[in-house]
A and B are shown apart, each in its own frame.
Chain A
Amino acid sequence: MDVDGVAILARGIAARGPEGIIFADLDLRVEPGALAVVAGPSGTGRTSLLLALSGRLPLITGHLDVSGHVLPAQAKAVRQLIRPARLRPGYELEAKHRVREAIVERRLISGVSERSIDAALDKVRIAPDRTALIDELHPAERLLLAVALTVAAEPAGILVDDVDAGLPTSGRAQVWAGLREVARTGMTVLASATDPPSGDVDVIPLPARGPDRPTKVLDLQEEVTR
């Protein structure tokens, strides 16, 4: 497995959600084949940043270039390059499917072969029981299964949200190890976590906002002063 990963260059990007500004004036650079981790506490806009970087959330300002594709004009091409493995909430494996069914579903929607899936499972070093319910898998194994199913199609980049949520320390280590293996193939891995792992990762720190989250008020004040 050898993949040309995506390179991401962002200058002064900002995005707005229903609750107001999510992030603003953000600069970042991700090299191909890197394991980049958006680090910060939950609710700070980690998922939104991952979506924005993969062309799934429109920016209100700034420059974003993904492997030569300039967003938002070429967002569709970028979405094809970067596939989500897990996004919370919304994009997760169906808890009541069996592993076998999840694999069948992925073969249907991605058109990948059984072999590619087996290879991807080997890559992340798991061998789940095909008859087990997704719900019954260990959280780390469940996440790695989702990663493997996405990797099987060999996209240029993958999104893995909330890597350390609900995982014990041993589980975290296992997941990070699996993600490193994926990044080693050349695939760019964009992950988010509360605590970034030590070692060989690009950490993208999010500007910590205050606990009262005054963005909306500021936003309104901005509009008034404008």
Chain B
Amino acid sequence: MKAFKLAWLEVRRFRGPLRRFVPLVLVLVPLLYGSLYLWSNWDPYGRLNRVPVAVVNSDQPVDSRGEHINAGEQFVQQLKATDIFDWNFADSAEARHGLQEGRYYFTIEVPSDFSTKLATAADRSPERASLQIVKNDANGYIAGIMADTVQTELQNQINAAAHATYARALYGELDQARGKLQLASEASKQLVEGTDLSKQGTAALSKGLNGVRDGTGEVSRGVQSISDATAQLDQQLRTISNFTAERLPGAVNTLVNASNVAVNSLSTIKATTGFLSQRAAEGRAAIEELGQKHSEIAQDSAYQRALDNARKLADSAAAAEKDAQQALKTAQDANGQALALQNNVGPLQNQIRAITAPADTLRAGAAELAGGSNGITNGLNTLAASSGVLETGAGQLNDGAKNLLGLVDDTLGKIPPTNPTEVANAADVLGSPTEIHTENLNPANVYGRGLAPFFFAIALWVFGLFAYLLLKPVNLRALADRVGPFTIAFAGFLPAAVLSVLGGSCCTRWSTSGSGSTRCTFGGRSGW
């Protein structure tokens, strides 16, 4: 209990307008320090997008197998799409300078052969493309650690870009292989067609041979027919004189027809002359009647002349009718004779036909012979044509096979090797197509050394707290005398300044000798 009372008495000591706040201020000190320190370290990676990082793209785009590969630019575009860091796209010199000056926390450099190496994806031995990250721990070790933590993500992004490039290259290769296979397929088709042609040729050849055989049979039959017909012809040769009688029936018929026509014509003429004679008689009668009725007219000469003419006409018409009668009778007689002649032609015709039948057989045989020889010729022609087709087909077949072989060989050459070592290497490179080389202008190597500047600052701050507990900040004697306030303040500041430089140097010397490093990351800066 005594201890508690004594403790309470110690607290009671703080009386007065300001002194009573001393315990309160003490209570707030941990809050002040803790909140400030925690706040500054609460989320060190939360504002990465405000950390300036230089990106240098020295990549040279390449054209490989018809594909334009610009992986560096693609990478830059990917970075622009993200805001992990505050990307600054700069040239190499500016980036290096900015890194040394502390304007950038680190730099990412895409080397000039980035695309070139990625383009080797489809080669037998693909190369791994690399990126260069340069850090500077003198600008802050934490930023370097942040670079390490996002390195995986960066690697993923770069790999994604690389894989896209690979995919394009490989698809280009596939397209080419597909083209070659298409050609091979066409060549196979030609080969098949060649086989077809030769089959057709063989069929045509056998057909031609059949034709030749048939033709030969026909020829022998035709020859037989000819000899038979010749024998018959010999037998019937004596009746050949009547052979010409063949034309007789036609002539006789013509004659009959002609006499018929003549009879008909003469009939018509007789009818006409009859009619005319009748008319003329009627005319003479009419004139004579006129004369009898009118005797004064009968005395007229004109009437006399007309009557005379009419009598002459009537006489002529009667004579013509008589002549026509006579002619018709004669024609009818001739017609009767012609019909008799026609009736006699039939037996004559039968006789002549007996002669002509063997001759017909002969002609048919001869025709068959000609046909047979034609068949032979055609068969031989077909045979020759078929041989030609067969030869062409065989040639095409060979060409097609050769084409196919060439294409298959060519395509085979394009397909990556199957040597196990090479396959293992290629798979390794394609699986992780890029690598990130890191470099450090001022490597801290170990965590403690990286954080040394930070803790040196805290150490010097503590120095400041202690220094003015022990040192007098103001010389009161000088203050009461004729000395300027600036001089008094500066004089009060100098001892602490000098001592802190010495203290900082001691601390630095210890830490650098402790880690055995070669470069001092923190000079004798004072912490007030």
Q: Indicate whether A and B interact.
A: yes
Residue ranges of A at the interface with B (Cβ–Cβ < 8 Å): 18, 79-80, 83-84, 90-91, 93, 105-106, 108-111, 153
CA distance A153 to B481 in the complex (A): 10
| Cβ-defined contact, B476 with A90, below 8 A | yes
What chain B residues lie within 8 Å of A105 (beta carbons)? Answer: 475, 477-478
CB distance from A84 to the nearest CB of B (A): 5
How many inter-chain residue pairs (CB < 8 Å) link A and B?
28
Whether B481 lies near A18 (C-beta < 8 A) is no
Q: Which of A18, A93, A110 contacts B482 (CB 8 A)?
A: A110
Contacts of A91 in B (CB 8 A): 476-477, 480
Residues of B within 8 A of A84 (CB): 480
Q: Nearest B residue to A110 by beta-carbon distance? A: B481
Known: A18-B16, A105-B475, A110-B481. 11 other contacts (CB 8 A): A18-B17, A79-B480, A84-B480, A90-B476, A91-B476, A91-B477, A105-B477, A106-B477, A109-B477, A110-B482, A153-B481
CA distance A106 to B481 in the complex (A): 9
User: In the complex the two chains form, what is the Cα distance from A91 to B480 in whole Å?
Assistant: 9
Residues from chain B with Cβ under 8 Å of A153 in the complex? 481
Q: Is the CB of A109 within 8 A of B476?
A: no
Q: How far is the CA of A193 from the CA of B304 in the complex (A)?
A: 224
- The answer, among A83, A90, A93, for a CB contact under 8 Å with B481, is A83
* Alpha-carbon gap, A110 to B481, bound state (A): 6
Q: Enumerate chain B residues within 8 angstroms of A79, measured Cβ to Cβ.
A: 480
Question: How far does the Cβ of A78 sit from chain B's closest Cβ, in whole Å?
Answer: 13
In residues 1-57 of chain B, which contact A (Cβ within 8 Å)? 16-17
Chain A residue numbers with a CB within 8 Å of B476 are 90-91
- Seen from chain B, the residues whose Cβ lies within 8 Å of a Cβ on chain A are 16-17, 475-478, 480-483
- Nearest CB on B from A103, distance (A): 12
Chain B: interface secondary structure? loop
In Å, the complex CA distance between A153 and B478 comes to 13
Q: 17 A-B Cβ contacts within 8 A?
A: A18-B17, A79-B480, A83-B481, A90-B476, A91-B477, A93-B477, A105-B475, A105-B478, A106-B477, A109-B478, A109-B481, A109-B482, A109-B483, A110-B481, A110-B482, A111-B482, A153-B481
For A91, give the chain B residue with the smallest CB separation: B476
CA distance A109 to B482 in the complex (A): 6
Among B17, B481, B482, max chain A CB count under 10 A is at B481
B16/A83 in contact, CB under 8 A: no
Residues of chain A within 8 A of B483, CB atoms compared: 108-109
Question: Ordered nearest first, which 8 A-B pairs have the shortest CB separation?
Answer: A109-B481, A109-B478, A109-B483, A110-B481, A91-B476, A84-B480, A90-B476, A109-B477
- Least Cβ distance of A88 to chain B in Å? 12
**In the complex, chain B residues whose CB is within 8 Å of the CB of A83:** 480-481
Min CB gap A111→B, angstroms: 7
Residues of A within 8 A of B482 (CB): 80, 109-111
Chain A residues contacting B481 (CB-CB under 8 Å) are 83, 109-110, 153
In the complex, how many angstroms separate the beta carbon of A37 from the nearest chain B beta carbon?
Answer: 21
Query: How far apart sit A79 and B476, CA to CA, in the bound complex (Å)?
Result: 14
In the bound complex, CA of A18 to CA of B477 (Å):
23
Nearest Cβ on chain B to A156's Cβ, whole angstroms:
14
Task: Give A108 to B475 CA distance when docked, in angstroms.
Answer: 12
Chain A residues whose CB sits within 8 angstroms of the CB of B17 once the complex forms: 18
Which residues on the B side are within 8 Å of A18 (C-beta)?
16-17
Question: What residues of A have a CB within 8 angstroms of the CB of B478 in the complex?
Answer: 105, 108-109
Smallest Cβ distance from B157 to chain A, in angstroms? 67
In the complex the two chains form, what is the Cα distance from A7 to B91 in whole Å? 80
Residues of B within 8 A of A111 (CB): 482
Q: Which residue of chain B has the shortest Cβ distance to A93 in the bound complex?
A: B477
**A9 and B425 alpha carbons, distance in the complex (Å):** 106
